Structure 1
Amino acid sequence: MHRRLTAVAAAGAGAAFYGTVIERNAFTVRRFEVPVLDPGAQPLRVLHVSDLHITAGQRRKHAWIRGLAELRPDLVINTGDTLSAANAIPAVMRSLEPLFAFPGAFVPGNNDYYAPRPKNPARYFGPPRRSTHGAPLPWPQMAAAMTHAGWLDLTHVRTVATAAGQRVALTGTDDPHLRRARYGLVAGPAEADAVVRIGVTHSPEPAMLTRFARDRYDLVLAGHTHGGQVRVPFGPAIVTNCGIERTRARWLHRWDDHMFFHISAGLGTGPWTPIRFCCRPEATLLTLVPRS
């Protein structure tokens, strides 16, 4: 029995070391093809980044994000949780600087408004509780900096952008996780004269996805889940921290007959849970192609 307990403890220590030192920094680019464009449209390359959780000292992550510009996307979408510290705005801007050369848009996440704070991991397995917030973060200044750099703030905004010479309808909301989303401010049928209609939100709550689907959006982009952050090997996420199913906590899925949604597993972790297991940090290059 003693040997068995020793072996279990050693395996646990090894998994913790792997998750906190190796996999947490094993950044990767995922690629998916999404058949959502109107017939005859030229393919669009959309870089989806989320949950960067940037702090000033994460130089390896900063450099990797800068290197994403080599993908030459037609459009960049950031689905929130960009900040993780009050002094991180300069680091965010340095990290994203090469990507500001491309059309882009963003929405906020819950950790853009409030700094992470220690939590009992067991609370994620019980019924939802009232959130306790950390210190406020300077999200208005962060949003202003990205807007000044050329990206669109989609917080309760409907607009049409141009990407690769084509009209792309974009509609975003504030963060559903903090109950700040007010879909009624942007509700209504999606623009019919765009080649694609994209909804953007932070937390992939089923009610929000249903609202976008009813308004005939083709694709919704979200983050927040970290893909589960710790997953069963070759299996689903353990928790999602939102209403989406554990089996759909990351990557591309259908919502109904006409709408897809993509959840990025994100590039960061909270400072109090610096581990990833069977869930590498990621950005995603989505190639949008015409529907068959």
Structure 2
Amino acid sequence: MSAASVVKKTAAVAAGSVVACIGYASIIERNAFVTREVTMPVLTPGSTPLRVLHISDIHMRPNQRRKQAWLRELASLQPDLVVNTGDNLAHPKAVPAVVQTLGDLLSLPGVFVFGSNDYFAPRLKNPANYLTNPSHRTFGQPLPWQDLRAAFTERGWLDLTHNRREIEVAGLRIAAAGVDDPHIKRDRYETIAGPADPTANLRLGLTHSPEPRVLDRFAGDGYQLVMAGHTHGGQLCLPFYGAIVTNCDLDRSRAKGASRWGAGMALHVSAGIGTSPYAPLRFCCRPEATLLTLVAAPTGGRGAGTRVGQSHPTASVR
């Protein structure tokens, strides 16, 4: 076989591999929804366990029946608390689909903040900007976030956007606070600044994008756990390497899952459930919701170490 033939054959194999990977990422993995379970020792000593369902980055469009069917099944997990960290919408007519799909979960105690794709529809972007110009922002048409907020709050979920609230869930007192999306510079941490109640069983912070400047403020005010989304876990990851980018200033090692932020605070970042309609791909990063079992920490959440939870998939629907 001539050198030219070898080159052509190699190029054909490479092209075929790329097509196969794109097909897998867009058809199979993007719809391979999974529920993960994580145990995190963050509650004050003596607290009973608390089951928290973390959902984020649904990016709903009205015709996504498979995603909607899977989301409906999450209510069977019977969490004590639901935490939604934003980016629910990807279409101006998606509010009814989100509300109907989350129907049974909306009957449970819940808290939420919004992300940029609750306020603005996604639009086509140059993917190179994620690597070369990550601070670049482009906004699509406005979305009916007010309707979504009204639907959530009418069912009893609490909007933590620039709010501090104390609630009781499963016999535990939770001091919770949140900010608007730092990714589009809507955060105003000064509106919630100040030490969190040290007598609460859980001091919980919410933000859509886990920007370090915001995490530092939560940590400084004594929050035990901050929950976020936005990163999609990297969305397109490499085997044995992980996320290529996080689409924010958070380091790649924390693109999804549980980690420690500084000495005194835990962080949980959801890999999210959906994708932008302009980038409907996932590779080595399945769409997920997470059921966290929060348990008492011997040091009240001030333990050392970088890992604060163990994760494993428990159920999936394809």
What's the TM-score, normalizing by structure 2?
0.91
Distance 2:289 2:264 in 1: 24
The aligned counterpart of 1:277 is 283
1:4 aligns with one of 7, 10, 20: 10
* Cα deviations by residue, 1:147-199 (Å, 9 ceiling, x for unpaired): 11110011100001111121111101100001000000000000122101010
Q: Distance in 2 between matches of 1:193 and 1:63?
A: 40
2:65 aligned residue (54, 59, 62) = 59
State whether structure 2 residue 52 is matched by structure 1 residue 49: no
Tell me whether 1:254 sits opposite 2:268 in the alignment: no
**What is the TM-score normalised by the length of structure 1?**
0.99
CA distance, structure 1, for counterparts of residue 158 and residue 136 of structure 2? 31
- CA shift, 1:234, in A, is 2.7
Offset at residue 63 of structure 1 (A): 1.1
Please say which of residues 276-285 and 156-165 is displaced more in the overlay.
Answer: 156-165
Shift of 1:130: 4.0
**Aligned equivalents of 1:129 and 1:157: distance in 2?**
27
Give 1:151's aligned residue.
Answer: 157
Q: How does 1:227-242 map to 2 (within 5 A)?
A: 227-242=233-248
Shift, 1:128, TM fit: 3.6
Which SS does the other structure have where 1:284 is aligned? strand
Write the distance in 1 (CA, Å) between the matches of 2:45 and 2:52. 18
1:110 aligns with 2:116: yes
TM-superposed CA distance for 1:127, in Å, is 3.0
SS of corresponding position for 1:243: coil
User: In structure 2, what is the Cα distance between the partners aligned to 1:185 and 1:22?
Assistant: 43
Q: Using the alignment, how far apart are the partners of 2:96 and 2:272 within structure 1?
A: 20
Partner of 1:89: 95
User: Which residue of the other structure, out of 210, 220, 224, is the alignment partner of 1:214?
Assistant: 220
SS at match of 1:121: coil
Encode CA deviations 1:255-291: one digit per residue, 9 max, x unaligned: 0121000000000000000000000000001110001
Please tell me the residue identity of whatever aligns with 2:187: A
User: Residue 64 of structure 1 aligns to a residue in which SS?
Assistant: helix
**Aligned partner of 1:6: which letter?**
A
Partner-residue secondary structure (3-state), 2:40: strand
**Structure 2 unaligned blocks of 5 or more:** 1-6, 299-318
Letter in 2 for 1:243: D
For 1:102 and 1:168, locate their aligned partners in 2 and report how far apart those are by CA, in whole Å.
15
- Alignment of 1:267 with 2:263, yes or no, is no
Give 3-state SS (helix, strand or coil) of 2:102's partner: helix
Q: Which residue number corresponds to residue 34 of structure 1? A: 40
Q: Aligned partner of 2:75: which letter?
A: A
Cross-structure match for 1:78: 84
Partner Cα separation in structure 2 for residue 182 and residue 192 of structure 1: 23
Q: Report what 1:225 is aligned to.
A: 231
How far apart are the structure 1 equivalents of 2:169 and 2:74? 17
Contact kept in structure 1, 2:129 and 2:136, CA below 8 Å: no
Q: Output the CA distance in 2 between the equivalents of 1:130 and 1:61.
A: 29
Looking at structure 1, the residues matched to 235 and 135 of structure 2 have their Cα atoms a distance apart, in angstroms, of 20
Q: CA RMSD for the aligned pairs?
A: 0.8
Q: Aligned partners of 2:110, 2:87: CA distance in 1, in Å?
A: 16
What is the rounded CA distance, in whole Å, between the counterparts of 2:169 and 2:12 in structure 1? 57
Q: Distance in 2 between matches of 1:128 and 1:61?
A: 29
CA deviation map 1:34-60 (0-9, x unaligned): 111111110000100000001100011
For 2:240 and 2:288, the matched residues in 1 are separated by 17
8 Å Cα contact 2:113-2:180 kept in structure 1: yes
Q: Is 1:179 aligned to residue 173 of structure 2?
A: no
Deviations 1:61-89 (A, max 9, x none): 11111100111101000000001111001
Percent identity for Structure 1 against Structure 2: 54
The equivalent residue for 2:148 is 142
Is the partner of 2:105 in helix, strand or coil?
A: helix
Deviation, structure 1 residue 129: 4.1
The structure that has the greater radius of gyration is 2
DSSP 3-state at the match of 1:278: coil
Return the alpha-carbon distance in structure 1 between the equivalents of residues 135 and 220 of structure 2. 29
